[in-house]
Amino acid sequence: MLILAITIFAVSCGPSGKTDEKSGDTTTVVSSSTDTSPMEANPSGDTTNQNGSEAKVEQSKIIIYSFHVTNRCASCIAIEESTKKTLDIYFKNEVKNGRIKLSVLNVDDKANEKIAEKYQAFGSGLFITRVFKGKENTTDLTGDGFKYAKNKQDKFIEVLKSKIQEYLK
């Protein structure tokens, strides 16, 4: 009986929306649990229900921070180049539609002080941050970058690609 009352309340109130304060866009989160209205996914990640109205499925976003100092070493440059190559080869659409963003930041620049502090980047660093439902999950790939990007680029690209694919799920 309680479940019936909750269901009626949820249905009568309509879909709940979450407003993105930065853009003012409203995103409706569609649950993947046992939903009674059939939904069909389309390539954009939107869903169409029986009556043809659109509902947007919230997707994770990825921000890749590539930190460096003013005087850059060959390994630091290789990390940035390999990261750009990975995005260009495997994730061009996600970059184009804004789901993945690359930020290359000089830690010596005062404008980047707060973000560098947040990631404790006081020199070169590569951080992959997944943002989903307002929560961040970050992986530090700095070590792998220095280990592979310059002399074993294919290995570094595979590590980076794998992490990005994991975060896109």
**Parallel, antiparallel, or unpaired: how do β-strands 100-106 and 61-68 relate?**
parallel
For the beta carbon of residue 15, count every other beta carbon within 10 angstroms: 13
Domain map (residue ranges) of the chain = 2-56, 61-168
* Cα 36 to Cα 33: distance, rounded to the nearest angstrom: 9
The identity of residue 132, as a single letter, is F
Q: H helices within 73-112, ranges in order? A: 74-90, 92-96
Length of the chain as a residue count: 169
* pLDDT tens digits along 65-88: 999 999 999 999 999 999 999 999
* pLDDT tens digits along 31-61: 222 233 333 333 344 444 555 555 667 899 9
Question: CATH homologous superfamily of domain 61-168?
Answer: Glutaredoxin (3.40.30.10)
Question: Could you tell me what percent of the chain has a pLDDT over 90?
Answer: 65
Helix/strand/coil for 67: strand
The answer to whether 59 touches 32, Cβ cutoff 8 Å, is no
Instruction: Identify which of 42, 72, 67, 69 has the alpha carbon closest to the alpha carbon of residue 57.
Output: 42
- Please give the pLDDT value at position 4: 32
* Cα 122 to Cα 32: distance, rounded to the nearest angstrom: 42
